[in-house]
Structure 1
Amino acid sequence: MRRWIVLLLSVLCGGSGLSAEPVRHVINGVAYRVLTVSPEKVRIVWKDGEGRILRRFPAAARYLDEQGEKVAALMNGGIFEPGGVPSGLLVVAGEQQQPLNLADGNGNFFLKPNGVFLIGAKGAAVVRANEYPAHAAGVRWAVQSGPLLIRAGKVHPAFLKDSDSRLHRNGVGVNDKGEVVLIITEIRSAKKPNLYEFAQVFARFGCRDALFLDGDISQLRTGKSMTRFSNRFGSIIAVVE
């Protein structure tokens, strides 16, 4: 097992010294996989070159390969509507494919403040959705979801420490080094976190800002597992070599 981890780490990092291996951590009885990468290695996809929604990991991996990208990992992006249409903002390779959504509504996406994960000329960031227009210039990749897990080091005010809503979850944050931190609970973990605990995990890994992405359907795949049948998603976050 240790040899496998070292080999995969070498492939994903490309000798950069930055750990991009999904590392397993058990925190307060919950098992997580944590993937830390530089912003330059992150892509977000939704449709292929013919305008067809990709939906599943194998299709996303093939499409990125056709674009000359060598994919190291895939994880589902933000919350979406029926048919795989992102519920809010989506920017792919500098092109806005879905508009910012500041509407009110029910469900996690609309639990204000919600937010946007973005990568632009100044690197990666997680911002409040209503702050995004001030950051929009030069953005290459962005996805909107909700709620924000942490904003400026503070856990979302609606989260309860003793909530019994314990579910499989995934999210994205930016740590104090400017690196992108992707975290997902292990689907087979005997215990799952509530949103307050999930937010605190991002703080533990140096993130002052982090965004909830999705729940029960969430998956993180690396290596050959990216070519296997996956759940159906809207946007997909890719880590490339």
Structure 2
Amino acid sequence: MIRRTLILLAALWAVPAVGSDKGAVNCSDLSFDDNRYTICEVDASRAQLKLFLRDDQSQVFGHFSSIEEALKPEGKELVFATNAGMYHANRAPVGLYIEDGKEEMRLIPNAGPGNFGLLPNGVFCLRQGRADVFETLSFRDSGTHCTSATQSGPMLVIDGELHPRFLPNSTSHYIRNGVGTSADGRRVVFAISRNAVTFHQFGSLFRDHLNLPSALYFDGNISRLHAPQIGRSDAGFMMGPVVGVVE
């Protein structure tokens, strides 16, 4: 009898827990090149990465708390989130925006004003089991189909090289956030600076410290992070597109 009980317990211990993917998102603080950052690393093959913009009534979520409230009736939790691309005054996306297969805004391939138009810019693309950062024209020409996607700019790292317009001695310092992806699309690292940094410094974080071949800038001083596992959930004025992990 004792032997049968031990065998049964061993079998139960061997069964993996169902419905818990907290190991798929890991957030931490780090310092690199005399600057401070918070990073959240996501395993796209395990985590449910999603884009959020509007609720069921087509109203812009705008805040992490609004997304959390919308998920509660479904028994779901927002375990990570950050702003995910530039937007107009009405919070509509500036460039390509696709959410769960529905396109709200088309791809913008041409140069323009502001950081978004500082070519090359790029697209953050979500597909089954992976996430990728593509340079915009490469994305357009590849015919890649994304389940969800958001366009932003400028690119931070392109095929292992920093954006050609970034200057080591730049005097433009801001809080910045962005995302980088591995070649296989599984490793996705979101970063937000904890002090004002230049584009060159921020891009170097992804290339030289995180060792990611592709990275995309999301935004500057409006950048915010929801990372409950490290006790952080930034509040403030309404955002546009948001990317998050749902459990």
**TM-score clears 0.5:** yes
Alpha-carbon distance in 2 for matches of 1:115, 1:75 = 17
Identify which of 75, 80, 88 aligns with 1:73. 80
Q: TM-score, normalised by structure 1?
A: 0.85
**1:17-43 CA distance string (max 9 Å, x none):** 55x221100112211001001224211
Distance between the aligned counterparts of 1:132 and 1:176, measured in 2?
Answer: 15
1:54-100 deviations in whole A, cap 9, x for unaligned?
A: 11111122223345532101111101111111100111112212111
In the comparison of the two structures, how many residue pairs are matched? Answer: 223
Aligned CA distance change for structure 1 residues 15 and 103 (closer, same or farther; 3 Å): closer
Partner of 1:111: 118
Alignment pair present for 1:205 and 2:213: no
> Secondary structure in 2 aligned to 1:86?
coil
2:223 aligned to which of 211, 214, 218: 218
Percent identical pairs in the alignment equals 27
CA distance in 2, matches of 1:140, 1:239: 15
Alignment of 1:62-211 (within 5 A): 62-121=69-128, 123-135=130-142, 137-176=144-183, 178-186=186-194, 189=195, 192-203=196-207, 204-211=209-216
Q: Matches of 1:56 and 1:16 in 2, distance apart?
A: 22
Q: Give the CA deviation at 1:179.
A: 1.2
Partner Cα separation in structure 2 for residue 69 and residue 117 of structure 1: 24
Partner SS state of residue 103, structure 1: coil
Name the larger-Rg structure: 2
The Cα RMSD (Å) is 2.1
Name the SS for the 2:26 alignment partner.
coil
Q: Distance in 1 between matches of 2:22 and 2:225?
A: 22
* Contact 2:178/2:217, CA 8 A, preserved across alignment: yes
CA distance in 2, matches of 1:127, 1:101: 13
Find the partner of 1:236 among 233, 239, 242: 242
> Structure 1 residue 231: deviation in Å?
3.0
Contact kept, 8 Å, 2:42 with 2:188, in 1: the verdict is: yes
Asked if structure 2 preserves the Cα contact closer than 8 Å seen for 1:94 and 1:138, the reply is no
How far apart are 1:15 and its partner, in Å?
5.9
**Cα displacement string for residues 137-163 of structure 1 (whole angstroms, at most 9, x for unaligned residues):** 541121100000001001000000111
CA–CA separation in structure 1 for the residues paired with 2:62 and 2:142 = 28
Q: Structure 1 stretch 116-125 or stretch 146-155: which is displaced more?
A: 116-125
